[in-house]
Structure formats: C-alpha cells, structure tokens
Structure 1
C-alpha cells in the first residue's frame, strides 16, 4: 500500500443543493460563509507527536500514518479483542489500550509494504534482541560459578589430604609412642634383671663372707678321709634301715677335732656306736662322734674349735675304721643331714 502524498487540487466548491438535500450529514444546509472547502489529507507535518507514556517511533520517509495494512490490521484486531474481552468478562465499558514502545517497529514498518516482508517482522513481534551486556554478564556468572565449584572441590581435596596427613601423623606418633614404650619397658626389665643380678651377687658375696667368718669358727672333724656313706642311705647294715649320719673313713688313730666350741656332755661306750663323744654347742645342737678308738675328753669339759677330742677307730657295729658323725638340733632324737649342716657353716666335706 503506497503512502499518502499531499497533492494540490482545485478548491472544492460544493454544488448548489436543493432544499430537499438539507439533511446532509453534518450540515442542515449549505452555508456560503464557510467555504471554500478542500479535502484534508494528513501529512507528517500535520500530525502532532503522540504524548504520554507510550510513543510511536518516528516513521522513516514522508509517508502517512499507516505504513502497512498488516500493522493496521493487527492494531484494529488487538483493540477490538481487548474491548470485547473486557465487555464479556467484566461487564464494564472498554478501556483504551496503549501499545508499548517497540524497538523493532522500524523493522516491520517500512516504505516497502509487501506482505512478504511483514511476516518476518511479525514473527519477531514481542521478542527482544539479545543484549551483549546480558550475554557478558551471564558468561561472567557462569565463570564465577565454575570458579566457586572448582574452589570448593579444591577445598574438599585439601581437607581430605589434611585429614589423611593428620591420620598418618597420628599413626606414626602412636607407633613411635608404642616403640618408645616398648623400649622403656625393655630398659626397665633389663634394669630390673641387672638389679636383681647385682642383688643376688651381693647376697652371694655376703653369704660367702659370712661363711668365711664362720669357717674360722668351724672346722672339719678329721683329715685324710674318704666319705663312704651319706645321710639317709638305705641298707641292711643299719638297724633303722637307713644311714643316720655321715661316715669319714680314715686310718685308725687319725685325730678327731671339735667342730666348734662347746661343752662335752657325754663321753663313753654307746653300744652299736662304740665309743662315742657328744659335744653340745651353745645353740643346743648336739654333735655325735662315734666308733672312736680312744676318747681324750670327759663330760662337762669346755672345748674350742679344733681341739682334739679323740681318735678314729672301729668300735661298735662297723665293718672298718671310720668316724660316724651325726647332728641333732636341740638334742632331738632324730638327726639331720650332717653334710648340709657342715656346708651351712662354710665347710665343704
């Protein structure tokens, strides 16, 4: 549709009408003082710009108000539809509808009003062209989100690594503490063993010293001897069925000495024991010296360690010359092992 161009025309002079044409629209009759008339054709200069919130974009070129029949049809349909819907839905009188500023109006209102160009323009009606600033902002937001995600992932990895390192350090510290505790325990055990060993050595040394001092006070009953029978040895030779003393076999006449200082409580014949001498020590222990060939002391006599009290013989129930020695603590009827008693006094028969 071509634009309306102003064209000069001859002044319009209405024809003389008859009285029968007095009902012409707008006038009761022709009035000569109101002419001459000419056709009003609106131009760009004669149209005042739209005022208010919404304004129609300035048209390009010098065309009329409507550039396209398609746009005009859309406006009329929209206005009619809005009025009809308002009347049908609310029952109220229709209200005016103003169209918003459309940045792309110039793209579909052009000098060329071909229907072929109107369809693409209407296809983009109501859509906005993408803003380069919005795209940049979206890209920046996406990049920021990606950076936050990467930072969070890195933080989580760092936390996992820190926890693993802390666990490894704790395990190493625990192992080191266990090793230290084990070493301390071993050192304590070694120190305790060394201490016990030292204490045992000290005890043994003290006992040796004590026995050495006792040995000076005690002595073996004879010399040049051979042990031929021990305490508790079984045999038919002894009336009790076992040997009750310690036998020192030696030649007849070998000297018999007092083992320790004491008092002679008995000296004489004693049946199967032959000639016997009993020496009672200060602690009450009785020492019996039996089968002597001769006695050199008498009852009630005080003797000291090493004094001669008799001689080896073969009197009584014997098979050969020897000294039979018995030990009776506190004068008990049954004796103890003379070997152990002599060793407790620091003597080794």
Structure 2
C-alpha cells in the first residue's frame, strides 16, 4: 500500500475565531489554533478485512460515552431504589447541562474542556437518579411506617381504653346489682320484721279481745280477798304433803260466786274440805269451792256467771276463814293450778 508523502509545512498563522457564547463567554487560548493533521502510514493502521472507521478523537465521542455512563448510573440508581422500596421507578428528566452544547461542537475543541462538563453531567445525573429516587422513596417509606406505627398505637390505646371502660361499667353494674340486692334483702328483712311485729300485735290484740269476752263470761269467786296459799305449795298441814288449790282469804260470810255458767253436781259436807260445792262447766271441767260456812245451791241446779252459790267459812281442816278453789279438767281426780286457769280466762287473781 502506497504511503502519502509529507505535506510541506504551512506557515503558522494564528487563527481568528469568533468568541463562543455557548459554554464560555470568551475565547480560550488553550483551545487552539491546532495544526492541520495529515495522516501518514505510520499514524494510520493498515485496514484489513472489512472497512473500519478510525477512533475519533473529537469531544463528541468522549462526551457521548460519559453521557451514556451517567444515564446508566442514574437508571441503575433508580432501579436500585425501586427494588429496595418496592415502588414503581421514578421517571427521570435530563437537566439542562452546560456541556450539552459542546457535544455537537467543533471537533477541534479541547479534550480537557469536554471532559470536565462530562464529569459534571455524570455526577449530576447520578445524583439526580440516586438522591431523588432514594431520598423521596425513603422519606415516603419512613413517613408511611411512622403513620402505620402511630395508627397501631392509637388503635391499641383505643382498645385498652375500651376494655378499661367496659371493665369499669361491668364493675359499676355489679356494684349496683349487689347494692340493689342488699337493699332488697334489707327491705325484705324489714318487711318480714314489720310483718312479724304486726302479726304479734294482732295476736296480742286478738288475745286481749278474747280475754275481754271471757272476762265478761268468767269472774273471780269472791271479792275483798287475800291470796294466802298457792297451788303446789309444800307443808305438813295438807295430807298430800302439798297444797292442791288456791286459797282466797276473806271474812266469814263473804259471798261466793259462780265463776262461770254451769250445773251444780255436788253440794254438802266433804270431810277435811268442810262444806263443798262442785260446779261442772259445759266442757266437763269441775270447779271445787270448799270450807264454806253455808251453801246456797242444790245438786242439778244451773247457775250463771256471778250467781251466789255460798259464803266464806272455816269448816274442815283450816287455820282461818277462806274459800279453797280447785280445778279438775274433765272431772279427773288430780287438779291443775287454778291461778293459771283463771288467767287463761282473762282473770287476774
């Protein structure tokens, strides 16, 4: 392959250039003028096979490479942010960089001048890709996490307050129910006590009314008397060893009255009892009146309450004038306490 002959050197003439307004405001001395480059056999590699284009040394190739690297870095950073945060990738917009115009400028521009804006573009694009995507996504993720934590805390606090309120309401209801039950129990007890008291009062009143009616039907055997001996009193004066009746001491001749209406079943002398009168009531109870000085009735005679049947005396085994009264229910030989029987009839000896 033939080689070109060297070209005669051209005289050095400083180039006259118009100052560029894009990128720099004035002419830069380090940008030229440049010598005309004439390729030779030593500077041009032989072409083998298919045609190859020699690597250009202009600023456009290097700037394009730097721009591609910056775009790849920005896109890679955006992808990493999207992969880390799980959110859709953020759209990128290329900023208006000062070195963009130099990409389409003259090939005779200085490589150092093209290299500096390309690095700035790379740094700017990488910063935009990483900072914008990662920063905004991180801030959004942090804010979302914070909001979720605050929402969960508020929900848990609300649940705790609801449980506390429910427990307080349940305790208040239980306390109210217990108080109501206690009040009801106390009211029932008071009502039962009042009822019992009222029943007792009613029974007492009924008994008083009954005794009043009986008192109208019964009477004491004599008046102006003194109780000298009671039922069951022990002593040698009585043949049985104890007193079998109730003694009403009164002056001789004091009237003896029928305690209740009935029939005279005996009237006469009875040994140690002296003159005795037996009054049998309708229920079969026998009333004995002993030691009389005289008898005013006869056997078979019917008498009414308060009718005179005899007089007080001192006949039989006595120490002084009195009427000895005995009560024999059903006519049985053994008598009962006359004091209790008279009180049961509403009388108070």
Is the TM-score greater than 0.5? Answer: yes
Query: Superposed, which structure 2 residues align to 1:137-216 within 5 Å?
Result: 137-216=137-216
Corresponding position of 1:9:
38
* Contact preservation (8 Å) 1:283, 1:330: yes
Give 3-state SS (helix, strand or coil) of 2:325's partner: strand
Pair 103,192 (structure 1): closer, same or farther in 2 beyond 3 Å: closer
What's the CA shift string for 1:255-284, capped at 9, x where partnerless? 000001111111111111111110001110
Alignment correspondent of 1:102: 72
Question: 1:101 deviation in Å?
Answer: 6.2
Q: Report the Cα distance in structure 2 between the residues aligned to 1:297 and 1:345, rounded to whole angstroms.
A: 24
- In structure 1, how many angstroms separate the alpha carbons of the residues matched to 2:251 and 2:60? 173
Take 2:47 and 2:265, find their aligned partners in 1: how far apart are those partners?
186
Match of 1:261 in 2: 261
Quickly say closer, same or farther: Cα 1:291–1:132, change in 2 above 3 A.
same
How much does 1:131 deviate?
3.2
CA separation of 1:298 and 1:64: change in aligned 2, threshold 3 A: closer
State the SS of the aligned residue for 2:290. strand
Deviation at residue 127 of structure 1 after TM alignment: 11
Aligned partners of 1:220 and 1:259 also within 8 Å: yes
**Aligned-partner SS, 1:242:** coil
Contact map agreement 1:42 1:64 (CA 8 A) in 2: no
Shift of 1:133: 3.3
Task: Kindly tell me the number of residue pairs found equivalent between the two proteins.
Answer: 277
Cα distance in 1 for residues equivalent to 2:73 and 2:315: 157
CA distance in 2, matches of 1:11, 1:188: 131
Q: Deviations over 1:73-120 (max 9, x none)?
A: xxxxxxxxxxxxxxxxxxxxxxxxxx996348x9xxx9349xxxxxxx
Q: 1:183 to 1:64 in 2, by over 3 A?
A: closer
- Residue 321 of structure 1 and its aligned partner are, at CA, apart by 1.1
Give the TM-score normalised by the residue count of structure 2: 0.68
CA distance 1:157–1:219, change in 2 (3 Å): same
CA contact (8 A) 2:73 2:129 kept: no
Distance in 1 between residues matched to 2:257 and 2:60, nearest whole Å: 168
Over 3 Å counting, the alpha-carbon distance change for 1:343 and 1:168 in structure 2 is same
Report what 1:325 is aligned to.
Answer: 325
Aligned to 1:243: 243
Corresponding position of 2:340: 340
* Greater displacement, 322-331 / 151-160: 151-160
How many angstroms apart in 2 are the aligned matches of 1:281 and 1:148?
Answer: 105
What pairs with 1:7-156 in structure 2 (closer than 5 Å)? Answer: 7-9=36-38, 42-43=55-56, 62-63=58-59, 102-103=72-73, 111-112=111-112, 130-156=130-156
Query: Which segment drifts farther, 282-291 or 172-181?
Result: 172-181
